[in-house]
Structure 1
């Protein structure tokens, strides 16, 4: 068994079976891929705190370090811990563990705290957030997003599957005091690259393909990004 100790305020330390037994609403129905199943549920901690549990059976990836397969949540745990150290806002890890069941298939869990007050940035746009808070706040949000991505990439971490739905936002305050915060989600494919540039080039081009930023907004985002990253990215 491989496990990250649980937060003792949520559950008994290291208690895989405690979290495996918790059930809640599916927010991502189990789907079959990578030789197994993976899905995400909302569950409650013992104090009623909202948590998200990624529950997997036989869901693995292979690499030269792990030719026989390793649960993808363990790779995601590595990314969450590393990105937190890089001051990239990500869901806070509560528990991560994996074990083999009697038929030698991995069972694996990744439990994180809810990002309180955050919503998908595309929902924020659709709900009139840009119009409500104004262009100065929106420009600050683009700059914060760019700086967040640049910190991740300068650490040589590549998200690997960055769509606009993985960008979350929280705006606090009103008027000139309003401030936007950015968080990133879903690091199942995240890995460290040999160079910061290769991580940056992959993710930024992918984000462009899988977002609906206007040309003007994208140019602003790229300007802020390249300023924070310290060099231009060819093809943006």
Structure 2
């Protein structure tokens, strides 16, 4: 069985799964054993120089009532990436996704995405003095763009499920009054649909509060921007 999504402009070999499986690069997330299998992420370059990230998995599955015998987690992540991009939520672009069973009936699976050019972890931006360099008005732009991306995700009933500040990335373009903030979300492996948008919102926003370093004033501003974009208040924020 193979499932794939490939850019139309990409000139890849006929068997794209074997092609990408044979590519190797620097590990940015060392393989770890969980969910009965192994998963890790490598940084690789395509022939045209495009920087890519390849998540490689063996026997790394999740089970649900729809998939009681297990399904590779990268396929759930593909569902989320596709759904979120359709909602105009800024996430990595998928180059390829595929899954196969090997001769011993274990899943081998791949998810290859384009690098988020120009983006850095938002915590690294803070640590490098980005907030002080660009000023408080620009920092409001950062919080606003984050809030709007999160609200679009939750209004679509998608729950990130692992919304830590380390999974929030920022790109700054321009200088001075023309500077623009763009926020992107990463690590969507556990992302899933919820029956109600408020369920997704409450889970993720409370989780982000626990796993972020914003002071109270910044958090209150983020919540204000978020609830304005979401269209209603979320109990407990």
Normalised by the length of structure 1, the TM-score is 0.98
- 1:131-160 Cα distance to aligned partner (Å, 9 max, x none): 111100000110110010000000000001
Distance 2:63 2:11 in 1: 32
* Residue in structure 1 matched with residue 18 of structure 2 by the alignment: 17
- 1:190-234 Cα distance to aligned partner (Å, 9 max, x none): 000000000000000000001101110000000000000011111
Query: Is this contact kept in 1: 2:142–2:183, CA < 8 A?
Result: yes
Query: Is this contact kept in 2: 1:51–1:114, CA < 8 A?
Result: yes
* Residue in structure 1 matched with residue 81 of structure 2 by the alignment: 80
Query: Is this contact kept in 2: 1:73–1:96, CA < 8 A?
Result: yes
* Residue in structure 1 matched with residue 178 of structure 2 by the alignment: 177
Counterparts of 1:130-169 in structure 2, within 5 Å, are 130-169=131-170
Query: Is this contact kept in 2: 1:39–1:56, CA < 8 A?
Result: yes
Residue 2 of structure 1 pairs with residue 12 of structure 2: no
Residue 191 of structure 1 pairs with residue 175 of structure 2: no
Shift of 1:23: 0.3
- 1:72-118 Cα distance to aligned partner (Å, 9 max, x none): 00000000001000000100000000000010000000000000000
* Residue in structure 2 matched with residue 105 of structure 1 by the alignment: 106
Alignment partner of 2:3: what SS? strand
Distance 1:220 1:96 in 2: 38
Query: Is this contact kept in 1: 2:5–2:94, CA < 8 A?
Result: no
How large is the Cα RMSD of the aligned pairs? 0.9
Please identify runs of 4+ aligned residues in structure 1 that moved more than 3 A. none
Query: Is this contact kept in 2: 1:2–1:99, CA < 8 A?
Result: yes
Counterparts of 1:195-214 in structure 2, within 5 Å, are 195-214=196-215
Report how many aligned residue pairs link the two structures: 236
